[in-house]
Amino acid sequence: MNSIRRQLIPWLKVLVSQGVVLALVLWLRESIPVDGPLLLVAQGLAAALIGRLLGLSPFWIPIQILLPLAAAYNAVVPAWAYLAAFIVCALIYWNSASEQVPLYLTNRRTWQALDTVISEQKATSFVDLGSGMGGVVTFLADAHPGLRARGVETAPLVFLASRIRLMLRRLPNAEFAYRSIWDEDLSAHDVVYCFLSPVPMPRIFLKAKAEMRPGTLFVSNSFTVPDVEPDAVVEVDDTRKTRLYLYRI
Ligand SMILES: C[S@@+](CC[C@H](N)C(=O)[O-])C[C@H]1O[C@@H](n2cnc3c(N)ncnc32)[C@H](O)[C@@H]1O
């Protein structure tokens, strides 16, 4: 129920922001100097701004900008555009259907909390299981030149984005592998981090227990391992009240 609510809230915020802007446009129509596509883009931009003020993540900005255009020109959008959009979404949300793990990203405050965990653990190797756009890995590699930071990811476009990020940052101690989390050898890492979903938690923890060395740390963002008490919980001072669950192997 909670997860359904979490999925619906952003869409409600989109509806509210688009609705407020549409109402304003209809009300002030006579005095608005622009019309046509320009007005629709301006409408989308204003809704995107309101959405950000309501706490929507930057990912929603392009969606908010395109929505009024898509609604106004739905009849002229060619059918292939929907197929192309579907393919792009599939290449991004590759693991949503099979693994029931969507794409959402660890925020900067949580990167900093992980930075502290790495220092306290005196870790020399780290892996992010399902490394998304590579933010965690590149941040930690940059902050800890002595750390080997690795990410594994199988969503094609997301993986590509993380490789491009790394090319731009040129961090010799960071790497991304196109590999399933289930194929990664966890014995090589002092800290194993994941931000997945409730579904894979029991299986991934079994794998961690079987492969990780004694004394190393398994860290899960937001999702606990059922029936296993974490050794520590880090409460991050961010808007979504992130919790990191730390399990000592
Ligand atoms: C919630 S995102 C977290 C991204 C990143 N770790 C972060 O915190 O910013 C989970 C990621 O795990 C990836 N993923 C899910 N199942 C996977 C699997 N079996 N192998 C590799 N990656 C997987 C998804 O594609 C997604 O990018």
pLDDT digits (tens, 9 = 90+) for 73-128: 888 778 888 889 889 988 998 887 778 888 889 999 999 999 999 999 999 999 99
CB of 127 within 6 A of ligand 1: the answer is no
Check: pTM over 0.85? Answer yes or no: no
Task: Classify domain 108-248 by CATH number.
Answer: 3.40.50.150
CB of 184 within 6 A of ligand 1: the answer is no
CB of 159 within 6 A of ligand 1: the answer is no
Would you say 135 and 201 are in contact if contact means Cβ atoms under 8 Å apart?
A: no
CA of 159 to the centre of ligand 1 (A): 10
Domain ranges of the chain: 2-77, 108-248
CA of 229 to the centre of ligand 1 (A): 24
Per residue in 46-81, pLDDT tens? Answer: 999 999 999 888 878 988 999 999 888 888 778 888
The dihedral built from the CA positions of residue 38, 39, 42 and 44, taken in this order, carries a sign that is negative
Q: Given the CA of residue 194, which atom of ligand 1 is nearest to it?
A: 6
Would you say 52 and 117 are in contact if contact means Cβ atoms under 8 Å apart?
A: no
The structure tokens 């192997």 sit at: 249
Residue from 7, 59, 89, 101 to probe ligand 1 pocket by mutation (most atoms less than 8 Å from CB): 101
**Residue 156: which residues within 8 A CB-CB, separation 6 or more?**
91, 94
